[in-house]
Structure 1
């Protein structure tokens, strides 16, 4: 694999916001209306500011770059946010650009973020590719379901949990 991985710095925030937006277009373009993406695109400067704030506050993000130095993957994990959290660690986000799917970048990000320990995550119901990836990593649905925020058109999502690989 010719990709490089490192923790994000505040200087990466603008590229992170742009890559995150592009991955949403690729992953959710069939689920959300054009207006959603127009609003998200208009908010890219604010998203970059939020990334700078998160990173400066010590909330790390892991990045993946292709051989040309283009940002192609982004992930974050940390202390779980759910009141009824099934574990201490939550995988908050994992996004890779479509052109590098199947090349091991997502797996390398998961390995860097949570290793093989216990964790949980939320995934959209209509995201079979991501669900299959998470199942290969030992995650299974735990029965908890919710609707996304109305800004995400209340898309349904469910929680997946793993006790840890080999545990």
Structure 2
């Protein structure tokens, strides 16, 4: 059964934070050194606080929910969007984050989340250069690299910007 997709509320902060950290662990295994990845994904209280703050501020987050499972597995995926944060944003709308748990990879959940949050409108995003699976997903949905790159100090990886006009 596919999870229900709905807007996140402040009450979803804990489940969303668990999904966020677990998705990082699953998606970045092999990209980020294991010790650093564990360090960056171990502070659930900090992540809950960030989710709570962002949702309280009205940031747009959609979640894919499985309500009948433990809180750490309740959210199967999420997507965040907003106005472009780059000074040289190629289009006004940014796909800030989109993740699904490994169990939902290649099930269509990522596409459903993207369709709900972004639709067909022009958008840009940042993705780790070495994340071939994510880059392929974005390319299937019309995003292409625009030649802009930056270093992500949190995970120690190079990111590239992808745009869909």
TM-score scaled to structure 2, two decimals?
Answer: 0.91
CA contact (8 A) 1:2 1:67 kept: no
Aligned residues: 161
Could you say what secondary structure the match of 1:152 adopts?
Answer: coil
Q: Distance in 2 between matches of 1:90 and 1:9?
A: 20
Aligned equivalent of 1:5: 5
Partner of 2:91: 87
TM-superposed deviation, 1:40: 2.7
Unaligned 5+ runs, structure 1: none
Compute the displacement of 1:29 (Å): 1.4
Alignment of 1:47-62 (within 5 A): 47-62=47-62
Deviation at 1:108, TM superposition (A): 0.8
Greater mean deviation of Cα atoms: 56-65 or 34-43: 34-43
**For residues 1-167 of structure 1, what are the structure 2 equivalents within 5 Å?**
2-66=2-66, 68=68, 70-149=74-153, 151-153=154-156, 155-163=157-165
Aligned Cα root-mean-square deviation (Å)? 1.5
Any conservation in 2 of the 1:61–1:74 contact (CA below 8 Å)? yes
